[in-house]
Chain A
Amino acid sequence: MNTNGETIIDVRGLTKRFGDKTAVDDVDLTVAKGEIVGFLGPNGSGKTTTIRLICGLLRPDGGEGTCLGHDIVREAEAIKRQVGYMTQRFSLYEDLTIRENLEFVARLYALPNVRQSVDETVEGLGLKSRQHQLAGTLSGGWKQRLALAACIMHKPRLLLLDEPTAGVDPKARREFWDEIHHLAEDGLTVLVSTHYMDEAERCHRVVYIAYGTIVARGTAEEIIESSGLGTFVVAGSGAAAAARALNGMPGVEQVAAFGQDIHVVGSHGPSLAESVHAVAERYPIHVAPGETTLEDVFIRLMSEAQVNENGR
C-alpha cells in the first residue's frame, strides 16, 4: 500500500432508503490514496448503492462526507470530473462503434486532443483493427476492457468499479487485475466491488457489507484472523458420508466440499475438534487442520447478518 496519507474517500453515516427498505445503513468508509479496496457482500447488500452515493449518482438520505476533497452532496459535479465509474452493466452505447464511444467520452470530459486520446486508447486496447466495429458486437471480456479504457481516458484520480469482472473468463480477469495494479502504482485509487474471493485477495484491503451495513474490514489476513474460525480438512473414501454426519454437530458451522476434500469450519475450536474426531472414528477418513479461507469467513458473515436482519 503506497499511501501518503491523503484520503480520497471519507464518508460517515451514509444512509440510503428506497421506500421503506434501507439499502445502505450508516456506512463509514475511508479510502486512502493509491489503495485498492475490495468491496464485498452478497447480492442486494448495498454495494452498488454505496458506490453510486460516493460518485453523486444518488442523493444520500443521511450521512455526509467527501470524495476527492469535495462534498458528495453539494459538489457532485466536481467529483464526476475526477472519477472514473465503471457500471455493473455495460453502459456505453451498443449502437456506436468502439471509436465513436471513446470519442463521445473524450469530448464529454473536454479532453484537449480528442483524436489523439482516442488513438492512444484504441491502440492501448489492441483494438485498432476493430475500432469501427459496433460496441454491441463485442464479447463480454472486450466490452469490459472497453468500458475500463473509457473510464480512465480522462485520467481520473479515483476509479469506482462495480463488479467489473462479472461473466468474464479467468485470463481476461487476470489481465484486468494486472491493469488495476498498474494504475494503482501510478497513484490511482480504486474501489472495486466483486463476488470473487481470488479478486478480494488481490485487494490491499477488503470491506464486507451485508444488508447495508459494513460487517468486516481490513486486509484478508486480518479478517480471517479476527473471525476466530478454525478449519479441518477431511479426506478419504468416507469423506462424503462423514460430511453428512458432521452437519449439525456441536461446533460445526460450515461443511463444504472442495474436490475430494471436505472443509469443516467452526468458530469454537474445542467443540469443533471434538466433533470432527468423533466422526473420524466412525468413517474411513483422515483429518488434518486446514487454512481458513476468506470465503469461509464471508459465508459465516453472511449467515450472521441474515440472522441479525431477521431478528430485527
Chain B
Amino acid sequence: MKAHSAASRIRAVLLKEVIQMRRDRLTFAMIIGIPILQLVLFGYAINTDPKNLPTGVVMADPGPVARSIVAGMQTSGYFLIERGHTEAEARAGLTAGTLAFVVTVPAGFHSDLVRGQSPEIIVEADASDPTASANAIAALPEIVNRAIAASTQGPMSAANGAGAVRPEIIVHRHYNPERITAYNIVPGLIGTILTMTATLMTALALTREIERGTIENLLAMPLRPIEIMIGKIVPYIGLGFLQVGVILIAAYLLFSVPMEGSLTLLLSAVLLFIAANVTLGYTFSTLARSQLQAMQMTFFFFLPSILLSGFMFPFRGMPVWAQAIGQVLPLTHFLRAVRGVMLKGNDMFQTLPHLWPVTLFLLVIGTIALMRFRRTLD
C-alpha cells in the first residue's frame, strides 16, 4: 500500500512534467533542433577534406623530379602552389597563416635520387588546424610516387636503376602535435549536447515551480523529496534519448560515422550519462533561487565540460591541474567510453573503466540534491 502510493505520487509528478514539456513547444523544438543544428554546423564546419590549401615551395634543387612532384601536388587539388618563396618568406607565411604548408626540396635532391640514396622532402604543416591538413598530408606519398614513376619513364630518365628509390617525406606538424578527427567530434557532440540540454532542462525544473509559485502547492502535498526528484528527472532522461537518437541517425546519414561496437552498450553508457547530467541539473535546481541562476550555474558547468573533457582539446595535452578537473567531469569519461564503443568497437569490459566514474558522480550529486532539497519554504 505504501509502495503503491509512492508509485502513484511519482507517476503524478512524472505525467505532469511530460504534459508541461509537450506543451512548451519552443523548448521542445529547441531540444530536437539543437542536436541537428550543432551536428550540421560542426559537421560541415569540420569539412574533413578541404582543398586548395596555400602551399609555399622552397626549391633548392630545381631538378625534373622535384618539378614533377610539385606539379603532381598542384594537380591533386589539395595544394595551391605558390612559387618563388625564399625559405624565410615561406616560414613567415606559415606563421602568419597565409600558408598552410611549406614544401622544401633540399639542394642535391636530384643527384641523391640518381645515386640511389633516399633524399628528403620536408613538408612543414600548420597543424594548428589539424583536420585541415590531415588529408593533404595523407595524399603526399602517393603524389610523390606517381611523380617519380612518371619522370623515370620519360626520355630524360635520369637513372634506370632509380625506380626503386623512394624519396623520404618528412612531415613536421607545427603548433599542434595532436590530431582530432571528424569522427571524434560526432561522438563528442552527443556528450556536449546532452551536457548542455539535459542539465539545463532539469536545472529549470524546480526553479520554474518556485518562480511560478506552484512550489507552495507542491510542498503542501504529501510528496517525499526523492519522489519529486524521480518524477522530475525521468521524463528528461527520455528526452535525452530522443536527442541521442536524432544525433546517431543524423551522424550516420550525413557523415557515415561508423558504429563499431554494440549499440546496447552505447545506449547503456548514454543512459548513465544522461542520468548523471539530469541529476546535476536537478541539484542546480535545488541550489538556485531563480531560473536565471539555474541557467548561470549550468553554463558555469558547461564551459569546463567542453574545454577540459577532451572534446575541444586533447586531454593529454592539458596541464596536470586541468586534467584533474577534467577527471571529475562526467563528459570526460563519457567521451572515452563513446569513442571507444563507436570507433574502436570496445566491449563492455573495456568500457567499464570509463563508466564507473560517471556512476560515482551520479551517486554523489544525487545525494547532494536530496540533502539540499528544501522540504519547506524557509
Seen from chain A, the residues whose Cβ lies within 8 Å of a Cβ on chain B are: 52, 55-59, 76-77, 80-81, 83, 85, 87, 89-96, 100, 103-110
Contact = CB atoms under 8 A, between A and B. Distances in A.
B20 A96 contact: yes
B92 interface: no
A94 to B, nearest CB: 7
A107 B219 contact: no
B377 A57 contact: yes
B242 interface: no
Contacts of B377: 52, 57-58
Contacts of A77: 222, 224
Contacts of B13: 104, 108
Contacts of B216: 57, 87, 89, 91
B220 interface: yes
A81 B215 CA distance: 17
Interface-central residue, B4, B221, B375, B377, by most chain A CB under 10 Å: B221
B222 A80 contact: yes
B346 to A, nearest CB: 43
7 contacts: A55-B220, A57-B220, A58-B377, A87-B220, A94-B212, A96-B23, A100-B19
Given A104-B15, A107-B15, A108-B9, A92 B220 contact: no
Interface in B235-275: none
Q: Give the secondary structure class of B's interface.
A: helix
A108 B222 contact: yes
Nearest to A84: B220
A92 B214 contact: yes
Interface in B331-378: 375-378
A210 B378 CA distance: 21
Nearest to A78: B222
B19 A91 contact: no
Contact of B220 (A83, A103, A106, A110): A83
Interface-central residue, A80, A107, A108, by most chain B CB under 10 Å: A108
Contacts of B220: 55-57, 80, 83, 85, 87
Contacts of B217: 85, 87, 91-92
A83 B221 CA distance: 8
Given A56-B376, A89-B213, A93-B214, A104 B20 contact: no
Contact of A110 (B5, B15, B215, B375): B5
A81 B16 CA distance: 20
B12 interface: yes
Contacts of B23: 95-96
* Nearest 7 CB-CB pairings of A with B: A107-B12, A110-B5, A91-B217, A110-B8, A85-B220, A80-B222, A108-B12
